Amino acid sequence: MTRRASKAAQKRAEDAYRTHHWGYAATHQKPVDLPGLPEDYPLTEMGLLTHLHVDPVPGVRLPQIRTNTMDDAAAMMGYEPDRLGVIEVDQADLNNNHVSWDPAHPAQRLYLHLSPSSQCDARKLWRKGDPTFTLHEAAKLAGGIHAKRDDYPKGVRVQPLGILYFTSYYTLKEDDNNEPSPSVYIHRMGEEGGIEPVLAVSSDGNLWICGGSYTVPEGGITQ
């Protein structure tokens, strides 16, 4: 979250972090640097981004894995493609890539904050000459509650990479013994009958989650 947010917005973001991290308070703040979002707009971190699993559109080349070999198979809902493309964060850069959400948004919109190194890698996914869309136009390709209103950051043009099925992140939660436990959590996007969002890339190397039906209750990312 940013340092210059209003006191009310700052408190909302801090309370949201504590609620979604088993009562543990946030220990630091980090400036938000996403096109179209004000510098003082507070987001709440879910965790450190590790993987994005995507069913890519034609022309997008990503490493492929079989879904039945993924960790945490209990996250599977049974109707994913047999193989998904993988976008993986460099482990040496893990601390500088984040999955965050907007606790003030009615559907708790997700955002991805990438390090300069990850942005450089993501820029390679931009296809020169291919059609581009506003974030809302890309959201409408997916549908869902996040496509109903044109309340995305303005001035951003993106190219769809594919349908986002899983978002993985590393964070601290409590284990079965009520002890702090750092773990990777794999969340099925649009679970519980929802609609999967589109993952898109902008020419500057930012990745955007567009559309879909999800919120961020205490259990994770669900419809």
For the stretch 39-98, pLDDT in tens is: 778 888 888 999 999 999 999 999 998 887 776 554 565 678 889 999 999 989 989 999
Residue 148 lies in a domain: yes
The pLDDT value recorded for residue 68 is 78
Residue 160 lies in a domain: yes
Residue 179 lies in a domain: yes
pLDDT digits (tens, 9 = 90+) for 153-206: 999 999 999 999 999 998 876 666 766 667 888 888 876 667 999 999 999 999
Domain count, the chain: 1
Chain centroid offset of residue 163 CA: 13
Q: What domain range is 151 assigned to? A: 7-210
Residue 222 lies in a domain: no
Residue 109 carries which side chain, given as an amino acid letter?
A: R
28 close to 14: Cβ distance less than 8 angstroms? no
Residue 218 lies in a domain: no
Residue 219 lies in a domain: no
pTM above 0.85, yes or no: yes
The pLDDT value recorded for residue 74 is 46
125 close to 202: Cβ distance less than 8 angstroms? no
Residue 215 lies in a domain: no
Distances (CA, A) of 14 to 40, 68, 116, 137: 14, 37, 26, 31
The pLDDT value recorded for residue 30 is 77
Residue 220 lies in a domain: no
